[in-house]
Amino acid sequence: MKTVQHKFVDLIPDTLEEGVLYICIPYCTAIHKCVCGCGNEVVTPISPTGWTLSFYGDSVSLSPSIGNWSFKCRSHYFITKNKICHAYSWDDWKIILNRKQEEKEKQKFDKKRRKQRKQNVGGDALDS
Ligand SMILES: [Zn+2]
């Protein structure tokens, strides 16, 4: 899915169509089905502490980004002028952080090993 259609509604419909961003002004809420196709409904309250809705006449933007961390898909995207821009998923960030952590651990381990090697100079190599 690359784009969404916006639809202003007075009431949030029981069944949501995929690719439609329903905007319910009386309830200050927008709702849509997760754009990855997992079928989960994403509720974005429009409030000073929630999301901001920008209406351009023919398209809408929601900010900040939508991060579906509580869903299995963990999708993360922006809706900007009805276009969906995928962002890093939380998993990607975790992977990056993990990699850094692993790198650190590896360096620590290498240092330890080098130390051990030095101590074993002249003796039997304990390098297995
Ligand atoms: Zn999803």
Residues with CB under 5 A from ligand 1 (ion): 34, 36, 38, 73, 75
For residues 39-52, average pLDDT: 96
For residue 41, how far is the Cα from the chain centroid? 15
Residues 6+ apart with CB under 8 A from 13: 22
* pLDDT for position 100: 83
CA of 125 to the centre of ligand 1 (A): 53
Arithmetic mean of pLDDT over the chain:
89
**Predicted TM-score (pTM) above 0.75:** no
Say yes or no to pLDDT of 64 above 80. yes
CA of 104 to the centre of ligand 1 (A): 33
CA of 27 to the centre of ligand 1 (A): 24
CA of 11 to the centre of ligand 1 (A): 23
Identify the band that residue 12 occupies on the pLDDT scale cut at 50, 70 and 90: very high
